[in-house]
Amino acid sequence: MTIFDRLDPVKQQVAGVGSALVDILAREDDAFLHAVGALKGGMTYVDVAFIEDIIQKMSTPPQVVPGGSACNTVVGIGQLGGKARFVGKCGNGPMGRLLRDDLAQKGVESLLFGSDSPTGRVLSIVTPDAQRSMFTFLGASAEARPDEMTPGCFVDAAVVHIEGYLLFNPDLIMAALTAARQAGALVSLDLASFNVVTEARDILPDLIAQNVDILMANEDEAFAYTGIRDVHEAVRVMAKGVGIAVLKVGAKGSLVAHDGCVLTVKAKGDGRAVDTTGAGDLWASGFLYGLVQRLPLEQCAELGSACGYEVCQVMGATIPEARWKIIHNHRRRNGQETLKPQGVDQGT
């Protein structure tokens, strides 16, 4: 039985579960990263005062936009015209309202539990090589409770996409996995960051084997999980016990393992990037959207590559309207235009 046989034939929604955050985006050099103690290419949890202190040291004011890994993914699905929902917890203040309004404007149904604590935020420092290094203050999102993750959160979901950062809260991620299963959805897990994988290494193999249908990682995350540098062998190891394994290799494209076979899909564009923030999240948008539309896996990966490339041409994880038009034109050329995207003029 393939993963397409296990997809509910009626449902097409993708529900994302993760930290409800806003992104604070800034450009600095490697010397600045070293001075503030950033883990290049990784993510470190800090308090809000730490983030505010770093902002004061920056050469230019940062940009503030809605963010969060799973949130970025479902926003991309909404912009593609798909059915999307985001489940998380945010503050009741201005940043929480900004997040709720942005989701609504981009065609995403939100199930956001409220809190009197401040909305979480991620300071993403982008260096000249387009690599992003993150400091995260979880804020209200850290207050999400296992008992809030019920099957009702995932009604109508064909796929529940969970960000790997929830691995830092084992009770919460297990509650989300259990609720997704009870709702009859397939489960997609993005490993999120190599240091997340390293710290959760003792629970990951059993958790994945017992609960995950679609496993996604980049090269560093795949190496942290498998201990294998060769990407073709690593993706085969990742695929053991799951329906689909995806290994994203940036400008070199992606590998998709399914049913004993490995597809190699080229990256879009010329490989250049302004900022890699959200690249993996938006790749997942295209792939999961294609999957619930029952597109062939190669086309799912090609659409993922198109979304991942376009988000790398701008700062942050929000693809502007002009670049969404490029993606929709790509879909039409490949016979993939099935739904009108929410809130985006497709042009002619």
Closest CA to 20 of 114, 107, 106: 114
- Please report, for residues 91, 230, 260, the alpha-carbon distance to residue 341 in angstroms, rounded to integers and kept in the order given: 29, 38, 34
Residue with tokens 């250049």: 272
List domains and CATH numbers for the chain. Answer: 11-19+68-118+141-332 (3.40.1190.20)
Q: What is the distance between the alpha carbons of residues 208 and 226, in angstroms, rounded to a whole number?
A: 13
Closest CA to 165 of 100, 70, 74: 70
Closest CA to 182 of 160, 209, 208: 160
Q: What is the pLDDT of residues 178-215, one digit of tens each?
A: 999 999 999 999 998 898 999 999 999 999 999 999 99
Task: Look at residue 342 in the predicted model and tell me its pLDDT.
Answer: 37
How long a stretch of residues is the chain? 348
Confidence band of 265 (pLDDT split at 50, 70, 90): very high
Query: Could you tell me what percent of the chain has a pLDDT over 70?
Result: 95
Q: What is the distance between the alpha carbons of residues 164 and 105, in angstroms, rounded to a whole number?
A: 26
What kind and span of H or E run contains 40?
none
Q: Look at residue 158 and tell me whether its pLDDT is greater than 90.
A: yes
Confidence band of 92 (pLDDT split at 50, 70, 90): very high
Q: What is the distance between the alpha carbons of residues 156 and 15, in angstroms, rounded to a whole number?
A: 9
Task: Look at residue 334 in the predicted model and tell me its pLDDT.
Answer: 65
Closest CA to 87 of 156, 137, 133, 24: 156
Q: Look at residue 43 and tell me whether its pLDDT is greater than 90.
A: no
What's this model's pTM, rounded to 2 decimal places? Answer: 0.87
List the end-to-end C-alpha distance of the chain, in Å, as a whole number: 40
Residue 225 and residue 217 in contact, taking contact as beta carbons nearer than 8 Å = yes
